[in-house]
Amino acid sequence: MRSVVPGDLYELAPHESARFFMQHVGRDASQLGSDVVHVFRAIHLPSTEALPAPSSLQSHFIVHALLAVGRRMGAWRKVGKLPTIPYQEPTWYTCDVETLPKPHNYRWWVWKTNDQDKEVDESSRLLTGAELGMVMPPHLITERAHTGTWSQVYPRPSSK
């Protein structure tokens, strides 16, 4: 199996008349060595046109994924390589899942890709705009690309 390198472009399963792409931008050693991918908003591109123009790709979200698993499951396929499309590196967040049955009593952590996590208070500005820092299964990544939201239930920091 060939290795995955930054710049690799993948096409997600199509939805209605739209096509969805994502680009491998790196790995996160602090999150199980998972792939970090930049998912783009839907574009309307003829199926005969293999690669979108970089200028047509608009950022949708950044997520941790296992690209090889998604390929094997048929959730996406590699279609080529483009120069890395600029994106704002997210702050990732997670909470102590052992406290999930106890509403509003979470311990929160934030980190940047390949950096140490840091425990923060729920009122921390670092949580504002942070992305959920979990390795997501392929079907949830495709679903969020199509719908714009995560369907799984996971605590979200309250907005203050």
Specify whether the CB–CB gap between 68 and 77 falls below 8 A. no
Q: Output the six-digit token pair for 43.
A: 């574009």
pLDDT, residue 97, reads 65
The position carrying tokens 């909470």 is 95
Do residues 65 and 89 lie in contact, with contact meaning Cβ atoms separated by under 8 Å? no
CA dist 146 and 140 (Å) reads 10
Cα separation, 18 vs 156, in Å, equals 29
pTM: 0.88
Mean pLDDT in residue range 71-83: 95
| Average pLDDT for the chain | 88
CA distance 36 to 63: 6
| 81-123 per-position pLDDT tens digit | 999 999 999 999 988 766 555 566 678 899 999 999 999 988 8
